[in-house]
Structure 1
Amino acid sequence: MKPLKDFTIPFVGLKIGKHHFEYKVEQEFFKHFEYEDFKDVNIIVNVDLEKKSTLLELHFKISGWVNVNCDLTNEPYNQNIKDEFDLVVNFGDEYNDEHIDILIIPHGTYEINIQQYIYELIILAVPAKRIHPGVKDGTLDSDILKKLEELSPKLKENKENKEDIDPRWNTLKKLLTDK
C-alpha cells in the first residue's frame, strides 16, 4: 500500500524538543485502506512529537465522529469517538514493529509515516457493539424497532396466569396450608 504523503513526518530537520502536528481525517482516508464500514468521517488527529537525541516520542490524540450503522436497527448515526495512544520510535539495525507501542526504524531514516497508527487508533476507538442513541432512550422511530416489538414475546398479566393454573395444583397447595 502506498503511503499517504500528508501523514509523513520528516523529523530529520526538526530541532530537539516538542512539535505539534494536526490532521483532519475524512472518508477519503479510509478509502485508501479499502475500509467501508464508515459512511462518513470527521476526526481531528493531534500528534505531539517530542524529538530527543536518541529517540522520538509520539502522542496521538483523536476526537470526532464516524457515521456507522446501528447493530440493532441498521439506522445510520454519528458515533462520537475519542482516544489516545503513545508510540516510542527508536533507531536500530533494521525495521521492527513487533511491539504495539515501540517502533524500531533503521539508522539513517529521515521520516516516519504515521497513517497506519492513525487508522488503527480510529478503528479501535469505535465500540464493538454500535447502538443508536435513540434506541437507548426510546426516541428512535424505526420500522425495524416496531417489528421487533411486535414479534417479541409478551408477558401475561398475573390475573391471566392464575386462571391458567392447573386445578390439581390448588389441591396440593391446600396440603401446605392445612397443617
Structure 2
Amino acid sequence: MAAATTRNNLGQPVAINTGAVATGHDMGAGEISPLRALSPGLVFDTTAKDYLNFLCYYGYKAKLVRMVSGDAGFACPRGAPSPDLIATGFNYPSISVPRLAAGKTVTVSRTAINVGPSNATYTATVEAPAGLSLNVLPERLVFSRRWTTAAYEVSFASVGASKGYTYGAVTWSDGAHSVRTPFAVNVV
C-alpha cells in the first residue's frame, strides 16, 4: 500500500471510468507497483490487537470480540465505540479522519519500520488540499539500523476547507524510496 502510485503507466493521474481524476475513495492507495513493493523502504506493522480494537471502535461488544478472537483477556479500549478513535488507534499506512470540525484539530500517530538500509533519513513532503492545514512531527525520520521503528504524528485542522471529504498524502522519501501515506478527511 505504501509503495502504490497515483499515476498510471503513462504518467497521468489515475482516473475513474468517466475520465475524471480518481479520489482517495475511488482508488484507495493507488495502483500497485510490484517493483516498488519489493523494496518499500518503510512499512507499517498493524497488529492483531489493532484489528480487534477496530471492531470495538465500530461498536462490537468486547464479549463478542473475545469470542471471535479466542482472546479471553481482551478488553475494548476506553472510549469505544467511536469512529474517531480509528484515526488515532490503528497503525495503518493510510489515514482516515471521519470528522474534522471547524476550529478543532485531530492528531493521528503512526509508527514506521525501516526495512531499507541502515543510516536512512526520510523527509516528509505534504500534499494538502486547500483549506486543510497539516503539521507533521517530526518532519524527518532517522533510522540508524534496519528493522528499527520511528513514530510520527500528523495534525489536521480545517482553515476554511469545504464541507465533505478532502484528500491528500504525506510522502516520506530518503532519496531512493518514496513511501506515501494517503489520507481522507471528512470536514463537517
Give me the TM-score of the superposition, normalised by structure 1.
0.27
Q: Which of structures 1 and 2 has the bigger CA Rg?
A: 1
